[in-house]
């Protein structure tokens, strides 16, 4: 079965950096688009960045130039490098894949940006 396991969240000061990881299993990882989403308290879940099977990536305007998504097909892992973090980046971050028209989510990892 499809499994996504996120790690790497934590508490960081404004301007700091974190790298999130999502280990995937149960599907042919290299063939699928992978995404990172986030959900802040009281807000809807939103797309942060995604990376296609060929390696092309895009990101939300709010994180462009600060966040970078990447993938390692040999490790079945997708990463989110987050630099210049702001308090408004505080949220639970989720890894996502859509397989056979069904969305799969990890358990999420909390990122808190605060001084």
Instruction: Render pLDDT for 101-114 as a digit per residue (tens, 0 to 9).
Output: 999 999 999 999 99
pLDDT digits (tens, 9 = 90+) for 56-96: 999 999 999 999 999 999 999 999 999 999 999 999 999 99
Question: For residue range 15-57, what is the model confidence (pLDDT) as tens digits?
Answer: 999 999 999 999 999 999 999 999 999 999 999 999 999 999 9
Find the Cα–Cα–Cα–Cα dihedral 42, 62, 73, 93, rounded to 10°.
-20
CA distance 79 to 33: 13
Percent of the chain with pLDDT over 90: 100
SS3 of the chain: the string is CCEEEEECCEEECCCCCEEEEEEEECCCHHHCCEEEEEECCCCCCEEEEEECCCCCEEECCCCCCCEEEEEECCCCEEEEEECCCCHHHCEEEEEEEEECCEEEECCCEEEEECC
């Amino acid at each position: 079965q499809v499994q996504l396991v996120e790690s790497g969240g934590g508490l960081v000061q404004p301007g700091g950096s974190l790298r999130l990881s999502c280990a995937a299993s149960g599907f042919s990882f290299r063939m699928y688009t992978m995404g990172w989403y986030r959900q802040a308290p009281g807000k809807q879940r939103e797309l942060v960045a995604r990376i296609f099977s060929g390696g092309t990536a895009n990101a939300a305007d709010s994180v462009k130039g600060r966040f970078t998504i990447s993938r390692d097909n040999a490790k079945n892992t997708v990463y989110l490098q987050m630099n210049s973090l702001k308090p408004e980046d505080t949220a639970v971050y989720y890894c996502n894949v859509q397989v056979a028209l069904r969305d799969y989510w990890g358990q999420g990892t909390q990122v808190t940006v605060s001084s």
